[in-house]
Amino acid sequence: MSLFGTTYHKKSDEELMELIKENNQKAFGELYDRYAERLINYFYRMLWKDQEKAEDFTQDLFTKIIQKPELFNGSRAFKTWVFSVANNMCKNEYRHHEVKKKANDHFDYNVSRSAASKAVEDMDKITFNQELEVALSSLDEAKRSTFELRYNDDMSIKEIADTFGCSEGTVKSRLFYTLKHLNTKLKAFEGVIYILFWASTYLMEL
């Protein structure tokens, strides 16, 4: 339950945004409670595992929300909107540092699905994560971020499509291409990548 009471706790994200437009601080606090940790984790994985940078970017994003809440388009779900803003902030940071093709460690992938976790329990997980990061870093930003939102943030295909403003087919295509790429790059971990491919067949139904 939120520190600000059950009235705000029960409101939807979109309802809270409407209240924020009226300078309601409690509504802002509730929204911050819901999303701050998720956004810090997202920025951490996308921005070179820099915890300080992740926290700074999260604060910057919420500062934008409280200063210009009218930027939120009420026809969209808040969750997909806020992650699209976060994604754009990451892209701007990549351009600023000119590292889109140079970084090898943008992601700290954690296999979250039970089947995948079982498959890697007897292997060197640190090595796997390092190799996965290198493989992902060779992809373009759109495919990396799509993979991140699907497997680390548990977003549905529809939510990811809304986040990027593209079709669900495009999201599925990016995921399938990424998994195919990983299968090629990570031959030493065929068991894990096979499980990801197996799971990906269900993506087409979500």
148 and 62 fall within a common domain: no
The confidence score (pLDDT) of residue 4 equals 45
Per-residue pLDDT tens over the stretch 26-67: 999 999 999 999 999 999 988 888 999 999 999 999 999 988
Rounded mean pLDDT of 155-177? 88
Q: Given 33, 67, 101, which residue is the final one in a domain?
A: 101
94 and 18 fall within a common domain: yes
The confidence score (pLDDT) of residue 84 equals 92
With beta carbons less than 8 A apart as the criterion, state whether 72 and 80 touch: no
pTM for the full model?
0.60
Task: Name the CA dihedral angle for 154, 161, 199, 204, rounded to a multiple of 10 degrees.
Answer: 140
In sequence order, the 6+-apart residues with CB closer than 8 A to the CB of 204 are 172
What's the rounded Cα separation, in Å, for the pair 58 and 46? 12
Per-residue pLDDT tens over the stretch 72-97: 988 889 999 999 999 999 988 887 76
Q: Is the pLDDT of residue 127 over 80?
A: no
The confidence score (pLDDT) of residue 131 equals 75
126 and 161 fall within a common domain: yes
18 and 51 fall within a common domain: yes
CA distances from 40 to 19, 32, 57, 58, 181 (A): 24, 11, 8, 6, 27
Range of the domain at 119: 110-206
Q: Report the CATH number that the domain containing residue 150 is assigned in CATH.
A: 1.10.10.10
Q: Which residues of 54-69 are buried (b: 16+ CB within 10 A; e: fewer)?
A: beebbeebbeebeeeb
174 and 86 fall within a common domain: no
Helix (H) / strand (E) element for 10: namely none
Q: Which of 149, 154, 108, 155 is nearest to 132 (CA)?
A: 108
CA triplet 62, 21, 17: central angle to 5 degrees?
60
The confidence score (pLDDT) of residue 110 equals 47
Higher confidence at residue 89 or residue 127? 89
Q: Given 66, 101, 136, which residue is the final one in a domain?
A: 101
Higher confidence at residue 119 or residue 28? 28
Instruction: For residue 144, count CB atoms less than 10 angstroms from its CB and return exposed for 0-12, middle for 13-18, buried for 19 or more.
Output: buried
What's the rounded Cα separation, in Å, for the pair 60 and 75? 23
Task: Name the CA dihedral angle for 44, 49, 53, 54, rounded to a multiple of 10 degrees.
Answer: 10
| Domain count across the chain | 2
The confidence score (pLDDT) of residue 122 equals 46
With beta carbons less than 8 A apart as the criterion, state whether 136 and 107 touch: yes
117 and 91 fall within a common domain: no
